[in-house]
Structure 1
Amino acid sequence: MQLTSKINQIVDQLEKIQPFNVQNPLDATRKYLETMSLQLSSKKEPVAIIEELNISKENHQIPIRIYRPKGKTVQKSSAIVYIHGGWFIAGNFETHDAVVRKLANATGSIVIFVDYRLAPEHPFPAGLNDSIDAVRWVVENAEVLGIDENQIGIIGDSAGAAVSTAVSTQMGEYLKFQVLIYPAADNQLNTETWKVYENGPVLNKQGGIEAWNWYLPKEELDNPLAIPVRIKDFKETPPTLMIFAEHDPLLDDGKQLAENMNNAGVSLKTSFYKDMVHGFMHMGEILEEVQLAIEEMAAFAHHNFKMVKENQE
């Protein structure tokens, strides 16, 4: 494993992170992601407006944060639903704030960040259900939100990419594209890249085993909506961009998911970021590749939104 000097600098910094006042291993994981994002994300870009709302469900609320990009004057805007990563057990508004701001400005789209319920307090399918409900809510409230209901996409990173993959099989008719950033596609953790990167950087196998155990109840161990590589029916899946990182234990799992999608006839583009590690989208303070990935996602979004407009004319 040959890491660049910038990646080694990041690894050194990650090893020094000592979350404050940790209560237990779960709390440590959550605070670690928050600290990593705070220390390594680039300066937060200004956006026009940030609104926080709750989607009311029968027994709970789904918090969402709506980002409106700077300089946006279109009455009916395109929109992107963002499903965050964090091994299904961590992540929140603040861990992904810098990334989502960049996406909103680069795409010119309203971005709706879903703060779905996390395991182990709320194991599968709680987070998936929240994400599906959020997409449905955006579609149903598009006019009030100033959104063009025919211009909606979805982006997910890591565990969020796993959730997004499942969402798109259920709600794909409403989605014009999907971006999956280094997806957590399988719970077996037995690929070659898991052997090479068992102890990191960033992720480690023991943490992955614990996270999947917290996330997946025994009765759901064979549910393809929880484990994307087991999905057979991709008929609703929209055009998809999948982003891979070279030094990522999840790489082979993501490649297998890509192969399955390709074999199922999904319109698929894959993009490989050499020298990058898992979670590199949170490392914009040091890595210029973050902006390159943002621009690639924006171009993909623009292309698919443009295709819709051309088909409507």
Structure 2
Amino acid sequence: MQLTEPINQILNQLEKIHSFNAQNPLEDTRKYLETMSLQLSRKKEPVRMIEELNIPLESHQIPVRIYRPNGKNIQNSSAIIYIHGGWFIAGGFETHDAVVRKLANKTGSVVIFVDYRLAPEHPFPAGLNDCIDSVKWIADNAESLGIDAHQIGIIGDSAGGALATGVSTQIGELLKFQVLIYPAADHQLNTKSWETYETGPVLNKEGGIQAWEWYYPESRDNPDPLAAPILIKDFRNTPPTLVLIAEHDPLRDEGEELALHMKEAGISVHTIFYKDMVHGFMHMGEVLNEVDQAVHEMAEFAHQHLETITK
């Protein structure tokens, strides 16, 4: 495995991150992702407006953050729903703030970030249900949100890619497109890329096994395709899909296989392979120019499939 100088620079910095006063491995993982995102993301772009609200359900509320892009205040905007990564156990508003701001401005769409419930406190299917319920609620309340209910896409990174795939399988008729950024798709962690990158960079197999056990404790005895999308057979509701793959990523092979399954099912799928990149590179804009390239590719894909784009 030959890594570029910028990637080695990033990995050296990651080795120096120590979670302050973490009480257990779960808290350490959550704080590590927050620290990594803060240190390696480029300076946050200003957007026109950020709003926060709670989607009311019978048993609980789902926090969401709405990013309105720079430009004129135009009603009936297109919208993108963002489902974040973090191994199903970490991540939230602040870990992905820099990326989401950039996506809002580049796409010209309102971006709605869903802060779904995390494992192990809330194992599968809690997080997926939150994402499905959020998409339904956003579509039902589009007018009051200032968006067009018929011009909505979804983006998910890593674990969020698994969740977005589950959402689109169930209610893809509400979505014009989906983007999966280095998606987690297979709970078995037995691909060639997992063998090659068992100890990293960025992810490691031991942590992955623990995360899947927290998220989906019944996975070995009763695998559910909505938890592990590599098992999905029916993609009939899935909209046109863009898949971003990183070369030096243990999730590389499962992401490519998921894309292949979609293609074989007749779904329009475009895959972009990011040579030299590692998992999580979208958080590394301070060092990597590929972040801007990926945002541009996603914006181009969104523009192809959304009719009402705020220029």
**What range is the shorter-chain TM-score in?**
over 0.9
Q: How far apart are residue 218 of structure 1 and its match? A: 1.4
Which residue does 1:82 correspond to in 2?
82
State the distance in 1 between where 2:177 and 2:187 align.
25
Which residue does 2:271 correspond to in 1?
270
State the distance in 1 between where 2:12 and 2:294 align.
23
Aligned length: 308
1:207-240 per-residue CA deviation (whole Å, 9 max, x = no partner) reads 0000000000317741100000000000000000
Q: Normalising to structure 1: TM-score of the pair?
A: 0.97
Which residue does 2:66 correspond to in 1?
66
Contact persistence 1:85–1:91 (CA under 8 A):
yes
Q: Considering only aligned residues, what root-mean-square deviation do their CA atoms show, in Å? A: 1.1
Which residue does 2:6 correspond to in 1?
6
Contact persistence 1:72–1:108 (CA under 8 A):
no
State the distance in 1 between where 2:59 and 2:73 align.
37
Which residue does 1:233 correspond to in 2?
234
1:29-83 per-residue CA deviation (whole Å, 9 max, x = no partner) reads 0000000000000110000110010011111110000000011332210000000
Which residue does 1:131 correspond to in 2?
131
State the distance in 2 between where 1:150 and 1:258 align.
25
Which residue does 1:196 correspond to in 2?
196
Which residue does 2:178 correspond to in 1?
178
Q: Normalising to structure 2: TM-score of the pair?
A: 0.97
Could you tell me the percent identity over the aligned residues?
Answer: 71
Q: How far apart are residue 187 of structure 1 and its match? A: 0.6
Which residue does 2:35 correspond to in 1?
35
State the distance in 1 between where 2:38 and 2:217 align.
32
State the distance in 2 between where 1:106 and 1:151 align.
16
Q: How far apart are residue 164 of structure 1 and its match? A: 0.2
Contact persistence 1:64–1:114 (CA under 8 A):
yes
SS in 1 for 2:306: helix
1:265-300 per-residue CA deviation (whole Å, 9 max, x = no partner) reads 000000000000000000000000000000000000
Which residue does 2:245 correspond to in 1?
244
Which residue does 1:297 correspond to in 2?
298
State the distance in 1 between where 2:217 and 2:70 align.
42
Q: How far apart are residue 19 of structure 1 and its match? A: 0.8
Q: Which runs of 4+ in 1 moved over 6 A?
A: none
Which residue does 2:207 correspond to in 1?
207
Which residue does 1:258 correspond to in 2?
259
Which residue does 2:22 correspond to in 1?
22
Taking a change above 3 Å as real, the CA distance of residues 197 and 110 of structure 1, as seen in their structure-2 partners, is: same
Letter of the structure 2 residue corresponding to residue 304 of structure 1: H
State the distance in 2 between where 1:246 and 1:80 align.
26
State the distance in 1 between where 2:45 and 2:134 align.
25
Letter of the structure 2 residue corresponding to residue 75 of structure 1: Q
